[in-house]
Amino acid sequence: MLLCVTASHKTAGFELLERLSVHTRDVAPLIAEHHDCVQGAVVLSTCNRFEAYVDMDEPVTAAAAIGVEAALLAIEEATGVSATELEGSYRVVQGDAVAMHLFAVASGLESVVVGEGEIAGQVRRALGQARKAGTTSTELERLFQRASEAQRSVKNATALGRAGRSLVRLALDLADSRIADWAALRVLLVGTGSYAAATLAALRDHGAVDISVHSPSGRGEKFALKHGIGHTPADDFAATAARADLIITCTSVEQPVVDAALLHAGGIDADTRRLVIDLGLPRNVDPDVATVPGVTLLDLETIRLHAPLEELQATDAARAVVTEAARRFTIVGDSRAVTPGVVAMREHVFSLMEAEIARARARGDDGRTEQSLRHLVGVLLHTPTARAHELAAEGRADEYLSALSTLFGIEVPDAARSAGDARDAV
């Protein structure tokens, strides 16, 4: 069975989400090592959510408790956030509801800015990281791949993407009310990842031209050459930051790269108004920059408070697409669960048929009996085989498996039966 332990901007405060975002690469391996019944784990960590997806091979009454325990212990060991601190700030999704949840997340329906596009890439990268760590499972692979397909369907079939805006563009929209002439700004971009590229594109759309980049990891010069902007080396960082009219940070470092001391060391002019936008999680800017005269700080928490209301029509259409995708995911899963029962039934009937054919051959049959038996068995098996998949699609796979046991004494492997029981218990 699948389950998800999720903490997001809807359930947890920014400070807690920030702490959960540190050392997240260690969480999935720790979950996978917790118990033999844990088949796999994928962790999705963004600036506004932390989610652990776990695949359990265990009857549902035990699986949920073991899976949640594995996630909470792994989170505490990797990030230092205890289960007590998390209490009331997370929820557990399990069974069929996991697909619906992840598909909605991947499509941007659960984002701070509904319809934002960055989450789709983050979902794909979460699966990629789990693959590298060796913590995926067949069912988690299927879940995350179908989530990406659902996201593409939402993007192609609805106006949700056009209704929503990315956090980067929302941040710049908020900054727009403070900036008279974007072309006259001296902009310092801190970071060189995918968010930095998106930020640079958004800055240019607003009219900014005087842009330089600094990278704490040393990749700034390469990024600057690629995008045709200035490069700020480490030795000039403080002075450039102090002169900049707008600083935007979006790095993956775990310690603040901009603080009040840096600005003072660079000789900041207290008579000039400056704006600092922190898009990093963990935060890239120490809150003490807000104490520097003339400096205004916009961080993710502030940006989140200004997120626009959902456009209901686009959201409703997107949720319909997600609901249908989740339904198909469940049907395929149920069909796979009933497959061992179908195989067991066919093997049982084939064994009886082969025994009768052997007896006919012993009596000197010329092959006509074998031909007739094989035709008859094929006809007889067609309806119960088709019916098995019909029942699975209706969520009644357990009835089929129980009938096999009651009528023919055919016992289906526990894994298949447990999968059916798990879905029915949700």
The CA-based diameter of the chain, rounded to the nearest angstrom, is: 109
Look up residue 4 and give its DSSP letter. E
Q: Hey, what are 34's tokens?
A: 């917790």
Strand pairing report for 38-46 and 49-56:
antiparallel
How many Cβ atoms sit within 10 Å of the Cβ of residue 309? Answer: 6
Q: For residue 418, give both structure tokens.
A: 């447990």
The DSSP result for 259-301, as a single string, is -HHHHHHTT--TTS-EEEEE--SS-SB-GGGGGSTTEEEE-HH
Q: Where are the alpha helices (DSSP H) in 251-408?
A: 260-265, 300-305, 312-362, 368-393, 397-408
Give the span between the Cα atoms of 28 and 163, in whole angstroms.
34
CA-to-CA separations, 357 to 360, 364, 408, in angstroms, rounded = 5, 11, 21
* Residue 250 falls in the annotated catalytic set: no
Strands 295-298 and 274-278: parallel
Name the active-site residue from 4, 37, 47, 250. 47
Question: Phi first, then psi: what are they for 36, rounded to 5°?
Answer: -60, -25
Catalytically active residues, by annotation: 47
